[in-house]
Structure formats: structure tokens, C-alpha cells
Structure 1
Amino acid sequence: MTYPFDQPGHTLRASLGKQLRRLALSAAVSTALVSPMVTAQADDYAEVNRLVRAGQLSEALAKADQYLTSKPRDPQMRFLKGVIQTESGKTTEAIATFSKLTGDFPELPEPYNNLAVLYAGQSQFDKARAALEMAIRTNPSYATAHENLGDVYAKLASQAYSKALQLDAGNAAVAPKLSLIRNLFAADAKGVRPAASAPEPAVAAAVTAPAVAPAATPAVVKPAPATATETNRGEEDAVEEAVRAWAKAWSSKNMSGYLGAYSTSFTPPAGQSRSEWETDRKARIVPRARIGVDISNLNITVNGNRATARFRQAYSSDTLNVTSRKTLDMVKTGNRWLIVRESTGS
């Protein structure tokens, strides 16, 4: 079970060649809006968010601190506070906030990610690496942390190659490697996305078959075969039904239905065996007093017997309310669409 605070389109970058992606403020606020049980909290999150967007960082921080006076363990507001401190240039305070959050809620990968970005901004790449490895250990499907870890490894490699050249300038094998990594950073920096929200991915329009001149009417009119577009739409509907059934089984803690939504070819993350993964999922789901999994902005693409479902997942339980972007890769087995791979993050 993961509890990400991020949303698609909200990406900020750190000083590591402007590479690392940090989770932005508005995502943490929006997670509270998914549950009617946390209306009061949602108002507080929204107000903090409004103040930040208005550039009133001091007021936003004061509002967050006021809220935390009565709810000092609230993970979402504490995450917000860390983001505000980062935006305000209070790096030391932000590191302390995210560090404490990882200690109190070690199951949350996002604070580790933001902590890594702050460390990278100080060129403390070993600490950044360790924080990202913890994020991935907590959620092996966390795509943002994997990407950031790759960038940190590349930066560490760049430093090592530079040191090698200093010690042995005549080593002809090192210079091309160093140049390759530097070019990689330079190319990626040109494509840095701003922090502004990106639009949700649009559902591809169905391709209409070209018109065909009508043939002479036969004596017995037979129904026309289904077009490729109609067949595709039918499969998209079947995939959507499977995804929503998976979410419903998760919400009701129906472990038979939930685990049955995964194909026998599903490969658990982090090298887990299927039995270990199922045991882990049961331990994270069954003890919850309540669980709600809501799906929105569902975008489905079908290619033969394979499909990809991308959507925004709003998770709520007795302990937490969060949202994230989720991707399910699915395969058709018999008449059922089953999950073969899942990933979280942008």
C-alpha cells in the first residue's frame, strides 16, 4: 500500500543538473478533498494552498503551524509545512521536517523523495541516494523515486569520473564517459517542465473507418460485423469494469477478489515472490478499519490482448487520505482482463 502525496503535472526540480523531481504543494492539499469525513481538514489544507499560490509563504507557514498545534502528527499538513519551508528557502528547516516525518511515518515514500531532493541541492548525493533507496524500499512501484535515483547515480558517476581524470589525466577511457553523462544532463535540462499544472491526458479519439459505398441489398440482410472501433470500445469498457472491480474489492477488503484481479504472470516488485507479496498486501489491507479507493480521470488504451489503464487514485482509510497517479498494465486471459504490472507516480 502506498500513500503518495503527488499529482501529475506538479513537478519542481532541484539543483542536480535541474534533474530531481520534488513533490509539489497542491497535490498534498487535494488529497484531503476526497473524503467527506475530513471536510474541516480539507478547508485548512485548501487555505494553506491558497496562501502559497498567492505568494504569502509566511502566512501559509503560520496557518500550517496553527493547525499542527492541535494535530501535531497530521502527516499531510506536516508534508505541506516541509514544502512551504522549501519554497521559502528554509532548507535546514525543511530537511528537519521531512526527516521527522520519515521517522514517524516510515511507510510514506514521498517525504524520503523530497528529502533526497534537498540533499541533492546541497550536493550531498550519498544522503540523497540513501533517502531515495528508502523511498523505493517503501514503495517499489514509485516511479519518481526510481527516476531520481538514476539521476543521483549518474551524478555520483560524474564525480567519480572527474576524480579519476584528476588522478590520471592520461586515461583515455574516462573522458568519453564523463562527456556522455554531462551531455545527458544538459539534454534533460532543456526539457524541464514548469511547476504549473499540466492538463490531464486526453482520451484518444476513436478512429473512424473510411466510408464504403453501399453494395446492392441482398435478398437476406445480415447484420454487419462489428467494426474495429466498436470492438475496441467494447474491450475498453471491459477493462474499465475490471479496474473498478479491483478498486471495489480493495475498498471492501475482499482479498479474494483483490488478489484475483492480478494475473498469474504478475511480477511483484522488489524481487518478492508471489506468496510474499500477497502476505504483505494482506498485512497492509486487512487491519484497516475502513478503506476507500476512488478512481477518476480514467484513460484506457487497448492494443490487442493488452491494455493500459491510467487514472487518478484517491485512497482513504482510518489513518490517511491521499491521492496519486496510478498505471495498471493488463492482459486479457480468457474473458477477463488481469493486472500484470502496476506503478505509482508521474
Structure 2
Amino acid sequence: MTLARNRLPKTLGLAVLAAALLASPLVRADEYGDVSQLLRSGKLPEALAKADQYLAGKPKDPQMRFLKGVIQTESGRTPDAIATFTKLTEDYPELPEPYNNLAVLHAGAGQFDKARAALEMAIRTNPSYATAHENLGDVYAKLASQAYSRALQLDSGNTAVQPKLALIRELFSTTAKSGVAAARPAGTAVAAAPAAARPPATAPATAAPAPAVAAAPSAAPAATPSAAAAPSAPAATAAGGGSKDVEAAVLAWAAAWSSKDMGGYLGAYGKEFDPPGSQSRRDWEEERRARIVGKNRIAVRVSDLQVSVNGNRAVARFKQAYSADALNVSSRKTLELVKSGERWMIVRESTGA
């Protein structure tokens, strides 16, 4: 079992973080594309040199800094990569991907407590980030394996521990044969983040692999300051008026988020909504309010909206381009809705699905 790896699509570059409010978007795209192409071609020194040249003029650019961390990871410069991703978490604590990549690097070095802490931060930042949850499960499995092994060393006659350890080792063996599913990129413009650093060669063959790296959000065009959600040709997959009502509910939710209308935003979630993680509904609402109201400007754009309706339940899948102050992130989003009276209410949401 290994932490989920992000693989490079054949025609796309590495997934990177995107910053808004930077000049010349086309020039930036070319710069990122050039560095990504060098990286995919295995020309790591050239890629790093070009990234450093770009960052000399724009040292705060999160997208290129993330890409630099990828290059350092692929080059085997783990301490440098850890420093790069750590600084990103300090400068952009809203982003879960740098935490997730830190976890991969720590796990690859056998530092599973540090990996667990980083993944818990990723999940706290984005409770619906599926890859971080998967990786955290892998880390817990590794920690359990270590604890059971230690228990047997201290008491070799403990018959209760042996079946547990055997079960975990069997799980590791099965996963190693089938391979762990790669984390899916967050949108069509995203390529996957780098693979996790491999565990040291001295690690026991039965040891659980390190957790997998989470995909980073894709680079998205700089959003306009407009607060309204701007869908681009939504295509419903279900016939009838029900799908149109669901589309309207999704766009109203995005518009309320964009305009920081907390009544409209929180009111889009049904009473059955179960906040991700272990948060209570009240704590989740307070956290969402703090994150949204505290921003100077927010724009949420919905595109490629696809809706399927089955009776009083519906699923909406779309691309979400989120822009807040100097941050711009694109991802895939899935909302599950239930019809309550005449309204469609959100009961579950997930990112990257």
C-alpha cells in the first residue's frame, strides 16, 4: 500500500497552484508550460533553473513555488522540497495540497507521525479532500503495523496480536499487487502532482507503504472581480424540468458564496447535510462564515455542469473556479441534493470527484 500517486496525463503538465492578480496570463501559462515540459522530459536541472529564474522576479507566486517543490521531489532533494512545501503552507494555509505533499515526503522518510499531522491539516483545510482521507488511512495502517510489531516484540506469546498483524500485512500485500488508484486531477486543465518519495531501501518488506500524494488544484484563468457565478454552457444529463431546477439551485449556491451572502449560502444546505470530518454542523457553519466573510473578494465560477436526477435525489458534477483575493484554484466538485418541498438542498459535497 502506498500513498496515492499523481500521474502525469499524456498531454498535460503538472498540476500547480494558481494565483490571481498577476499580469500577462498567457505569458505565465507559457512559463509554467515550459517548466512542466522540461520536468516531464526528465530535464530536472533545466526545469529547476527556469523555475528559479521566474521566481527571482515573482518570489511569492504560489503556482511556480509548488512546481519547484515538485521538481525538487523528483530530483531526490527531499529536504529542499519539504522546505518549499512547508513555506507554502505558511503563506497559503487555505490550500490542502502542500500539506498533502508534505505528508508524502514525510511518509517516504518513515516519519509517519509527521505525515499524519500534515494530512490532518490538509483535511482541516478541506474536509472533503478525498485523497487526504485515503492517505491518512494508509498512515494509520502503517502506525498500527508498527504498534502491533512492537507488541509482539515485547510479548511474543500474545495470540491476540498475531492475527491483527497478519491481516494488515495481507492488506499491504494485496495492495502492492493491485496498486493504489492514483489521485484524480482536479479538472481537465490539471495534471497530477509528483509521486511520493520511495521509502528507504532498509525498510522491511512487510512494512506498509507511505501514503499517497494528493493532486494539486489546476491552474485557472484569473477570475474577474464579479461576484456572480458564471456558468459556461451547462449540460444536464437528465431530461425534464427537474434537472433545470437543480442547475438553478447550484448556480444560486455559487452566487451566494460569491457575494458572501451567508444566509443564502448556508441556507442552500439541507438539514440532512453531514459536514465532512468530525465537525458538528454548528462548528462547520462558523468555520465557513469565518473563511468567507474574512475575504475581501470572492468569485465562484461554475462550468461543465452535469446533472442527473433520480426521483427526489440529484447529483450535480461541475468544474469550480474559485478566486479569493490573490488566490485562484480550479477543481472538480460534486454536490448531492435532495428535494425538500419545492427546493433542492445540498446534503453532501466532495472535491475531486
With the shorter chain as reference, the TM-score category is 0.7 to 0.9
| Per-residue deviation, 1:21 | 4.1
Instruction: Mark the CA change 1:234 to 1:72 in structure 2 (over 3 Å): closer, same or farther.
Output: same
TM-score (structure 2 length as normaliser): 0.75
* Correspondence for 1:27 among 15, 39, 44: 15
Q: Does 1:60 align with 2:67?
A: no
Aligned partners of 2:306 and 2:316 also within 8 Å: yes
Q: Does 1:147 align with 2:149?
A: no
**Counterpart of 1:18?**
2
Aligned partners of 2:295 and 2:324 also within 8 Å: yes
**Counterpart of 2:254?**
247
* Correspondence for 1:316 among 316, 323, 339: 323
* Correspondence for 2:288 among 268, 281, 298: 281
Decide which structure has the larger Cα Rg and report it.
Answer: 1
Q: Secondary structure at the match of 2:16?
A: helix
Structure 2 counterpart of 1:253, which letter? K
Structure 2 counterpart of 1:19, which letter? L
Structure 2 counterpart of 1:82, which letter? G
| Per-residue deviation, 1:194 | 5.9
Partner Cα distance (2:159, 2:85) in 1: 43
Q: Secondary structure at the match of 2:257?
A: helix
| Per-residue deviation, 1:88 | 1.7
**Counterpart of 2:149?**
162
Alignment size in residue pairs: 301
**Counterpart of 1:79?**
66
Q: Secondary structure at the match of 1:323?
A: strand
Partner Cα distance (1:34, 1:158) in 2: 47
**Counterpart of 2:340?**
333
Partner Cα distance (2:260, 2:92) in 1: 23
Q: What CA deviation, in whole Å up to 9, does each residue of 1:224-272 have, x standing for no partner?
A: xxxxxx9854323322221122112222333332222111332334444
Aligned partners of 1:309 and 1:329 also within 8 Å: yes
Partner Cα distance (1:20, 1:194) in 2: 5
| Per-residue deviation, 1:324 | 1.8
* Correspondence for 2:78 among 76, 91, 99: 91
Runs of 5+ in structure 2 lacking a partner?
A: 189-236
State how 1:1-346 maps to structure 2 within 5 Å. 17-21=1-5, 26-28=14-16, 31=18, 38-189=25-176, 190-193=178-181, 233-346=240-353
Aligned partners of 2:19 and 2:326 also within 8 Å: no
Instruction: Mark the CA change 1:175 to 1:46 in structure 2 (over 3 Å): closer, same or farther.
Output: same
Partner Cα distance (2:306, 2:20) in 1: 22
Partner Cα distance (2:248, 2:324) in 1: 23
Instruction: Mark the CA change 1:231 to 1:156 in structure 2 (over 3 Å): closer, same or farther.
Output: closer
Structure 1 counterpart of 2:179, which letter? G
State which drifts further: 280-289 or 124-133.
280-289
TM-score (structure 1 length as normaliser): 0.77
| Per-residue deviation, 1:39 | 4.1
Aligned partners of 2:86 and 2:102 also within 8 Å: yes
Runs of 5+ in structure 1 lacking a partner?
A: 1-16, 201-229
Structure 1 counterpart of 2:243, which letter? E
Q: Secondary structure at the match of 2:308?
A: strand
Q: What CA deviation, in whole Å up to 9, does each residue of 1:186-219 have, x standing for no partner?
A: 223313346897997xxxxxxxxxxxxxxxxxxx
Over the matched positions of the two proteins, sequence identity in percent amounts to: 66
Q: What CA deviation, in whole Å up to 9, does each residue of 1:165-202 have, x standing for no partner?
A: 222222222221112112222223313346897997xx
| Per-residue deviation, 1:115 | 0.4
Q: Secondary structure at the match of 1:253?
A: coil
Q: Secondary structure at the match of 2:260?
A: coil
Partner Cα distance (1:306, 1:61) in 2: 49
Instruction: Mark the CA change 1:196 to 1:102 in structure 2 (over 3 Å): closer, same or farther.
Output: closer
State which drifts further: 120-129 or 170-179.
170-179
Aligned partners of 1:21 and 1:144 also within 8 Å: no
| Per-residue deviation, 1:132 | 0.9
Instruction: Mark the CA change 1:194 to 1:232 in structure 2 (over 3 Å): closer, same or farther.
Output: same
Aligned partners of 1:314 and 1:323 also within 8 Å: yes
Instruction: Mark the CA change 1:125 to 1:335 in structure 2 (over 3 Å): closer, same or farther.
Output: same
Aligned partners of 1:158 and 1:181 also within 8 Å: yes
More helix by share: 1
